[in-house]
Structure 1
Amino acid sequence: MVKYGIISDSHIAENDDITKINALIYELKRVFNDVDQIIHAGDICSKNFLSELNAIAPTISVRGHDDKIKDLDNFIKFSAGRYNIGVIHEQPNDLENFFKSNDIHILIIGHSHQPFIKGTKYNTLLINPGSPTNPKAPPQKKGFDEPIARPSVITMSIDENDILSTYIINLKLD
């Protein structure tokens, strides 16, 4: 079994408030304490923050719109058990074709700052961990209370044959 910590859109700048950065790192150490690998879906923005994530667990990341870090690819693909997993910052326009042409079962995206875990109509899984620093609430739906934006990440556990769990975790940063 392998357990992933999934994060996106941290937007950590080198001159950000060190107290807030340290609080985020402390919380990520808590929620990612037992992960085997961290996946960052772009807009990490800080090489130092990437190093902090690597200190928690080995970390892979793709380039987001605001990333200045060299050596980040726009798309990465890897396998876990029988699942092919892709990571890209922004959701492709033709999602079905993207899944098929890249032969992936799970796609991890960022950019919207809104967390979700969605099964698609073509029997694949689309994951967005939201943002730990600048969360955005989804649009309000008729008949429901106004959604609340919360800092979030996701954990996902996969064994050789199954996705065992995928959870959105709201971070406690206050």
Structure 2
Amino acid sequence: MAKFGIISDTHFATNDKNKSYYKLLNQLKETFEEVDEIIHAGDVCESFFLNDLENIAPVRCVRGESDKIPGLEPFINFEVGEYTLGIVHKKPENTEVFIKEHNIHILIFGHTHQPLIKGTPYNTLLINPGSPTKPIAPPPKKGFEKPIARPSVITLKIDNDNILSTFLINLKLR
């Protein structure tokens, strides 16, 4: 079994280590307490946040367009059980072709600051954790209340029988 904490678009600058920063870090420690690994889908901005996440669990991170951290790649893929996971910051324009080229079963991305857990017609799960620091509300849907932008992360569990469980977790508003 493998359990992942998924986060993206934190956009921390050096002067952001304040009370709100540590409050968020404590929420993440609690939320990601039982994860085996944290996946950051880019736009970290400063490496100190990755170092702090490493104190919770090992971290895999891709480079977003705002990242200047040396060593971050724009795309990572790896296998867990029968699944190939791919991580990018921005979902490719031709997602179906990208997924087929890399044989991806689960594509994790960020960039939009809007959470998403969605299956596709080409049998791939798309996961976007939104943003815990700069959330954007999803577009409104007819017949529903206007959505509220909430700070969010996602957990993904792949059990020994290759059954997926994924949860969107709304964090406390800062």
- With structure 2 as the length reference, what TM-score do the two structures score? 0.97
SS in 2 for 1:23: helix
Q: CA deviation at 1:138?
A: 1.1
CA distance in 1, matches of 2:34, 2:173: 20
8 Å Cα contact 2:150/2:173 also seen in 1: no
Note if 1:112 corresponds to 2:112: yes
Show the counterpart of 2:28. 28
Letter in 2 for 1:4: F
Show the counterpart of 1:167. 167
Show the counterpart of 2:54. 54
SS in 2 for 1:97: helix
Note if 1:128 corresponds to 2:145: no
156-165 or 88-97, which moves further after superposition? 156-165
Letter in 2 for 1:34: E
Letter in 1 for 2:100: K
Letter in 1 for 2:116: F
8 Å Cα contact 1:80/1:159 also seen in 2: no
8 Å Cα contact 1:23/1:173 also seen in 2: no
Q: CA deviation at 1:140?
A: 1.0
CA distance in 1, matches of 2:7, 2:62: 11
Q: CA deviation at 1:94?
A: 0.7
Aligned pairs, number? 174
8 Å Cα contact 2:151/2:170 also seen in 1: yes
Match runs of 1:16-165 below 5 Å: 16-165=16-165
8 Å Cα contact 1:82/1:161 also seen in 2: no
CA distance in 2, matches of 1:171, 1:92: 27
SS in 1 for 2:54: helix
- With structure 1 as the length reference, what TM-score do the two structures score? 0.97
Q: CA deviation at 1:81?
A: 0.6
CA distance in 2, matches of 1:45, 1:85: 23
